[in-house]
């Protein structure tokens, strides 16, 4: 942001795009809809794109969307992915609430801390998904979540970069 302010570009007559306040939620839904890509994978190692976008938005700014919007966004994600209905509703809302608490507790923020927070929440999400699969009769060993977790954590900076770009675009910076 600071570099953007120092650049030569003039910002007169530029403002937020129409519906700027809905773009964060909309982009999370778009990320959930990436599941329609015709990828037939034999091991579910792709990251949960919707959750990555949600975390990236929430870590970038706390007013991207009201806290409770995580629940309907999670329901949309459940329906799109075909996961047990309620899984993303609960996990996403819990993650946003956890970040609300983290906002109050942390004295300073930086790239590394945000990445660690995202990693911890991604671990929580993968573990919840694993536990739900176990209850539904598909008990795979816990260590199988390691590879998708690692891929998700490595994909987080990409999601954060995309979110930062969308944020600058929607605010007309």
Partner 1 sequence: MATARPGWSRKAQYGLFFSFLAAIAGLLMGLVLLAVSFVSPKSYAAVRGAALDATAPVTGGLRQVTDTVAGLFSGAGNYWDAAHQNAQLRRERTLMIQRIIEARAISQENRELKAALQLRERSRATVASGRVVGSSFSSPRRFAIFSAGTSDGVRIGMPVRSPSGLIGRVMDAGSLASRVLLVSDRASIVPARILRSGQPVISQGRGDGTVDLRPLEVGRNPFHRGDIVITSGTGGLYPPLVPIARVIRLDDDGAIARPLADPSSASFAVVEQPYEPAAITDQAAPSPGGE
User: Would you tell me which residues interact with partner 1 (CB under 8 A)?
Assistant: 33, 35-49, 62-63, 66-68, 70-72, 74-75, 79-94, 96-97, 100, 103-104, 129-130, 132-133, 135-140, 144-145, 148
The CB-of-85 to partner 1 minimum distance in angstroms stands at 5
Which distant-in-sequence residues (6+ apart) come within 8 Å of 96 by Cβ?
Answer: 54, 58, 67, 70
- Which CB atom, from 52 or from 160, has the smaller least distance to partner 1? 52
**Least CB distance to partner 1 at residue 68 (A):** 3
Which of 120, 127 has the CB closer to partner 1? Answer: 127
d(C-alpha 102, C-alpha 125), whole Å = 17
- Residue 12 or 138 having the CB closest to partner 1: 138
Q: At 168, is the secondary structure helix, strand, or coil?
A: helix
User: Least CB distance from residue 161 to partner 1, whole Å?
Assistant: 20
CB of 54 vs partner 1, minimal distance in Å: 13
In whole angstroms, how far apart are CA 56 and each of 49, 98, 115? 11, 14, 9
Is 96:67 a contact under the CB 8 Å cutoff?
yes
Residues 121, 72: Cα–Cα separation, whole Å: 19
6 or 42: CB nearest partner 1: 42
């Amino acid at each position: 942001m600071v570099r953007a302010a120092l650049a030569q570009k003039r910002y007169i007559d530029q403002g937020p795009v129409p519906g700027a306040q809905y773009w964060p939620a909309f982009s999370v839904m778009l990320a959930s809809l990436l599941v329609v890509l015709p990828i037939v994978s034999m091991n579910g190692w792709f990251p949960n794109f919707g959750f990555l976008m949600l975390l990236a938005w929430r870590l970038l700014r706390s007013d991207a969307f009201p806290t409770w919007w995580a629940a309907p966004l999670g329901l949309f994600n459940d329906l799109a992915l075909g996961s047990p209905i309620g899984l993303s509703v609960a996990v996403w809302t819990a993650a946003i609430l956890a970040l609300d608490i983290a906002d109050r507790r942390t004295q300073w923020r930086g790239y590394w801390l945000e990445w660690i927070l995202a990693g911890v929440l991604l671990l929580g999400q993968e573990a919840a998904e694993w536990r739900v699969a176990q209850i539904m009769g598909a008990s795979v060993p816990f260590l199988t979540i390691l590879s998708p977790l690692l891929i998700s954590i490595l994909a987080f900076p990409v999601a954060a970069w995309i979110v930062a770009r969308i944020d600058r675009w929607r605010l007309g910076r």
